[in-house]
């Protein structure tokens, strides 16, 4: 294979505030070599650019353990609750003060965007030759055809359409990859591990998905008893993890929020791709992160200072509804899986964000989880269609950089259709989410034909209607817009300037067809279980993934907005206290293409490497 120089550490990310994959890289290759004295290092026989080492700065600290010891007699759950709520409060943006961050982009230490396990054997996955041209409705409805049989090819298909690359962008000497699953700032903290059964010529194993190579890196082989259990179940496991440093490099202490937004997006992307294969997907709620860390061998790793990786959740994939208790018990009972290969280093220096380590520990699953009640309701068949195929919608998903305000419009039927898709139920993607619905949408409608501009609310869980109505401004109308949909007009008016202002003054929130803030049931949920904090963020990402694909299906473009003034949003709604908190913002409109950018096929580089 020819060696390919990957300019991972300099030209990959945007410096804009919005969550975007399509932004320009800041420096060309020659600029970086001249400025930093960068050198090329090898990994898997390929070359990566890195920076001449300086004195490392540790990200981790022993102070958290001292805090735990000092409060040994305190109620553990109360302490966890206090840590989680303090984190959320401290990491709010305000017009006069943003949450703490580096304040600049340290290009010398930009994290390598792809995790690899050096020396691990690889299973090269086949790329999809031709899409199946499934209709738009296949994203949501169960396939009438038999599910795809479990094989390396069908797993590869699912991974390509969920966690794989969607394109490369190029400007001058800078190139950067886009992925099917969105990420704040295109930083991609989410990693994906698969626990696979025996396949022809391939022993049951634990693997890591490398999206750059579209390959599985074999981290451990499973013994005969383990392989037999997997074969008997007829499915496989996916463990999603987060590398907080990837987000903290740019966003500082607010990075924990973004990691879990992104994990929610990844869950949605995986669920859609599984649905196209006719597979069920189930998130196992009771399993602890500590158990998953142990299963992956993370508890035995000597992590590079500042680059720990944490397991977040376990998903089970099969063609039927298996028993989650059986899966939980099996993963919890596995011990001494032998892992031989270690992860690559992402940066040579790090900034210490101890607050992230603190909230990560405090929000781990150790007690009860708030599961959703049984719901037998199935989604109504899609009335609207799309000119794009299901796979085409997934492949074209991007984060918008800029909107054309005059053409950023949609009609009422399409808008209502989109809102219905965000409601929980037994259909894709919310059928895999085991937690009770806690997130609602406060929507700034700018340009929806047939609907007055104004501020609206979509109540996604009827149990919360009275709380939201009583705690918001008493002057709000709360008049239902359309029968059968929990969508309410609060106040008419032009909210473009307000939407832009509350989203850190980003014009994209005001120039769109509509923008929204996702409100999470905060105090009540965390009082029950502090471990629900990440799950609330997952729910916002899952809703966001629906909004992304619905926008693309109807020839619009969405973008997630992580930078917003938390308490200003609460003030607009009249919310006081912390019963309800704004967790994530979003906007949808008609995007403007940046004609300066060259687009390349997602895996063109694999042909170059042959």
Phi and psi at residue 255, to the nearest 5°: -60, -35
Distance CA 169, CA 23 (A): 9
Which is it for the CA torsion 544, 323, 159, 344, positive or negative? Answer: positive
The answer to whether 542 and 429 have CB atoms below 8 angstroms apart is yes
How does the average pLDDT of the chain come out, rounded?
88
Return the closest-CA partner of residue 447 out of 515, 397, 383, 521.
515
Q: How confident is the model at residue 379 (pLDDT cuts 50, 70, 90)?
A: low
H or E element that contains 457: strand 454-458
The separation between CA 246 and the C-alpha centre of its own chain, rounded to angstroms, equals 13
Q: What is the reported pLDDT for 335?
A: 86
Q: What's the pTM value of the predicted model, to 2 decimals?
A: 0.89
* Diameter over CA atoms, the chain: 68
Tokens for 496? 């473009």
The answer to whether 16 and 503 have CB atoms below 8 angstroms apart is no
Could you please report the per-residue DSSP string of 328-343?
HHHHHH---------B
Tokens for 57? 């700065």
The answer to whether 236 and 152 have CB atoms below 8 angstroms apart is no
Q: What is the reported pLDDT for 62?
A: 42
The answer to whether 170 and 400 have CB atoms below 8 angstroms apart is no
In the Cβ-directed half-sphere of 504, how many Cα atoms lie within 13 Å? 17
pLDDT tens for residues 499-508? 999 999 999 9
Which of helix, strand or coil describes residue 89?
helix
The answer to whether 455 and 444 have CB atoms below 8 angstroms apart is yes
The answer to whether 230 and 241 have CB atoms below 8 angstroms apart is no
Taking CA atoms, 260 is separated from 184, 320, 402, in Å, by: 10, 28, 25
Strands (DSSP E) found in 64-199: 122-124, 165-171, 174-179, 190-196
Q: What is the reported pLDDT for 610?
A: 63
Lowest mean pLDDT of 94-103, 313-322, 324-333, name the range: 313-322
Region 353-369: mean pLDDT is: 90
The answer to whether 314 and 287 have CB atoms below 8 angstroms apart is yes
Q: Which of 57-71, 143-157, 461-475 shows the highest mean pLDDT?
A: 461-475
Checking if the pLDDT of 136 tops 80, the result is yes
DSSP class of 541? H
Q: How confident is the model at residue 373 (pLDDT cuts 50, 70, 90)?
A: confident
The answer to whether 292 and 314 have CB atoms below 8 angstroms apart is yes
Region 102-124: mean pLDDT is: 93
How many other C-beta atoms can be found within 10 angstroms of the C-beta atom of residue 2? Answer: 7
Structural domains of the chain, ranges and CATH numbers in brackets: 5-56+98-366 (3.40.109.10), 390-589 (3.40.109.10)
Alpha helices in 46-172 (DSSP H): 63-70, 76-90, 152-160
Q: How confident is the model at residue 375 (pLDDT cuts 50, 70, 90)?
A: low
Return the closest-CA partner of residue 206 out of 215, 219, 224.
219
Distance CA 343, CA 219 (A): 10
The answer to whether 582 and 537 have CB atoms below 8 angstroms apart is no
The separation between CA 595 and the C-alpha centre of its own chain, rounded to angstroms, equals 28
Q: How confident is the model at residue 372 (pLDDT cuts 50, 70, 90)?
A: confident
Which of helix, strand or coil describes residue 598?
strand
Tell me the percentage of the chain whose pLDDT exceeds 90.
78
The answer to whether 193 and 207 have CB atoms below 8 angstroms apart is yes
Region 491-506: mean pLDDT is: 98
Checking if the pLDDT of 3 tops 60, the result is no
Q: What is the reported pLDDT for 39?
A: 36
| Range 198-212 burial, b when 16+ CB lie within 10 A, else e | eeeebebbbbbbbbb
Which of helix, strand or coil describes residue 32?
helix
pLDDT tens for residues 33-92? 222 333 333 333 333 333 333 333 333 344 445 454 544 435 899 999 999 999 999 999
pLDDT tens for residues 186-218? 999 999 999 999 999 999 999 999 999 999 999
Query: Between helices 412-421 and 532-553, what is the axis angle to 10°?
Result: 150
Taking CA atoms, 13 is separated from 222, 247, 423, in Å, by: 38, 11, 33
């Amino acid at each position: 294979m020819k060696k390919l120089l990957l300019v991972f550490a300099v030209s990959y990310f945007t410096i804009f505030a919005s969550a975007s994959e399509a932004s320009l890289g800041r420096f060309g290759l020659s600029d970086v070599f001249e400025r930093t004295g960068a050198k090329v290092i090898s990994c898997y026989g390929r070359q990566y650019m890195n920076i001449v080492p300086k004195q490392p700065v540790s990200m981790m600290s022993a102070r958290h353990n001292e805090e735990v010891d000092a409060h040994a007699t305190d109620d553990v759950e109360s302490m966890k609750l206090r840590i989680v709520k303090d984190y959320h409060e401290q990491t709010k943006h305000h017009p006069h003060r943003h949450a703490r961050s580096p304040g600049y982009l340290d290009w010398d230490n930009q994290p390598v965007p792809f995790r690899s396990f050096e020396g691990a054997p690889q299973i090269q996955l086949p790329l999809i030759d031709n899409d199946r041209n499934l209709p738009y409705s296949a994203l949501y409805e169960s396939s009438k055809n038999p599910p795809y049989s479990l094989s390396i090819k069908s797993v590869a298909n699912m991974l390509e359409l969920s966690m794989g690359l969607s394109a490369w962008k190029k400007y001058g000497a800078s190139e950067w990859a886009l992925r099917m699953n969105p990420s704040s700032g295109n930083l991609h903290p989410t990693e994906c591990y698969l626990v696979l059964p025996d396949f022809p010529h391939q022993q049951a194993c634990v693997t890591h998905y490398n999206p750059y190579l579209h390959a599985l890196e074999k981290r451990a082989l499973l013994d005969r008893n383990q392989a037999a259990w997997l074969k008997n179940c007829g499915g496989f496991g996916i463990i999603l993890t987060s590398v907080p440093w990837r987000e903290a490099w740019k966003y500082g202490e607010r990075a924990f929020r973004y990691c879990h937004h992104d994990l929610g997006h990844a869950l949605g992307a995986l669920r859609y791709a599984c649905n196209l294969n006719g597979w069920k997907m189930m998130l196992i709620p009771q399993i602890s992160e500590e158990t998953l860390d142990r299963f992956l061998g993370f508890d035995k790793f000597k992590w590079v200072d500042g680059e720990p990786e944490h397991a977040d959740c376990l998903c089970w994939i099969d063609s039927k509804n298996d028993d989650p208790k059986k899966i939980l018990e099996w993963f919890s009972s596995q011990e001494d899986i032998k892992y031989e290969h270690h992860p690559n280093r992402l940066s040579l220096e790090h900034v210490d964000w101890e607050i992230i380590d603190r909230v990560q520990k405090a929000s781990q699953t150790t007690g009860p989880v708030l599961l959703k009640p049984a719901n037998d309701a199935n989604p109504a068949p899609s009335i609207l269609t799309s000119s794009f195929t299901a796979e085409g919608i997934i492949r074209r998903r991007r984060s918008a950089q800029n909107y054309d305000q005059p053409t950023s419009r949609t009609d009422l039927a399409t808008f209502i259709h989109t809102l219905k898709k965000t409601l929980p139920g037994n259909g894709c993607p919310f059928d895999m989410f085991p937690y009770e619905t806690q997130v609602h949408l406060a929507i700034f409608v700018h340009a929806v034909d047939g609907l007055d501009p104004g501020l609206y609310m979509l109540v996604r869980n009827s149990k919360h209607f009275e709380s939201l109505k009583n705690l918001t401004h008493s002057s709000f109308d709360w008049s239902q817009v359309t029968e059968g949909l929990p969508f309410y007009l609060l106040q008419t008016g032009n909210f473009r300037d307000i939407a832009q202002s509350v989203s850190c003054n980003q014009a994209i929130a005001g120039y769109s067809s509509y923008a929204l803030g996702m409100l999470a049931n905060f105090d009540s949920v965390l009082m029950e279980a502090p471990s629900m904090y990440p799950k609330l963020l997952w729910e916002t990402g899952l809703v966001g993934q629906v909004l992304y694909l619905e926008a693309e299906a109807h020839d619009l473009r969405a973008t997630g907005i992580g930078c917003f003034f938390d308490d200003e949003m609460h003030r607009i709604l009249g919310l006081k206290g912390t019963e309800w908190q704004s967790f994530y913002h979003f906007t949808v409109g008609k995007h403007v293409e940046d004609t300066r950018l060259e687009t390349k096929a997602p895996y063109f580089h694999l042909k170059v490497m042959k």
